[in-house]
Amino acid sequence: MVSKTKAAEQLMHKMKRAVRAGGPDPKFNKDLVQLQLEYRAANFSDEAFQRDLKHLQQQPAKIAQVTLRGPSASIIVVETEGISKKKLQELILTHLEKSGGGFRLTQNDYSRAFEEKGVVVMASTKADRTAVTLET
């Protein structure tokens, strides 16, 4: 049998994932509606669900910034937003190690040398819906 504290912790982790995937509004996020039913099944009140959801929304998003040196001495500044700064940096480094394209971390902060232009969204598929591969 799982203790009440452990159950609350597991439900909170599920809530973080659901909010990250579909947003904080249960009207538009069916995963949150399902999670609310799980809260009830675990003998938690609807007020506990709403309180946890409100607490999750009030947590400010952390921004992780990593400066990289790429091939041909190119400088790449990767900035991402999430719940934990340390986990975001680890995630970026893990994906860079998988690419194996000669990227390495630099200790210098080159972000001040660039003008901020906006958001670049990366996807694993091309415009014609074919998969992007790292092989040459």
Q: Angle, to 10 degrees, between the axis of helix 4-22 and the axis of helix 46-58?
A: 50
Q: How far apart are the first and last CA of the chain?
A: 52
Q: Residue 85: what pLDDT?
A: 72
What is the 8-class DSSP label of residue 121? -
Residue 62 CB partners (closer than 8 Å, separation 6+): 81, 82, 83, 84, 85, 88
Domains of the chain: 4-58 (1.10.10), 61-136 (no CATH)
Q: Residue 2: what pLDDT?
A: 64
Q: How far apart are CA 35 and CA 48, in angstroms?
A: 12
Which neighbouring-strand residues pair with 104?
A: 69
Mean pLDDT per block of 10 residues along the chain (136 residues) reads 80 86 84 92 91 85 78 80 73 78 77 74 80 72
Rounded to two decimals, the pTM is: 0.47
Q: How far apart are CA 119 and CA 38, in angstroms?
A: 36
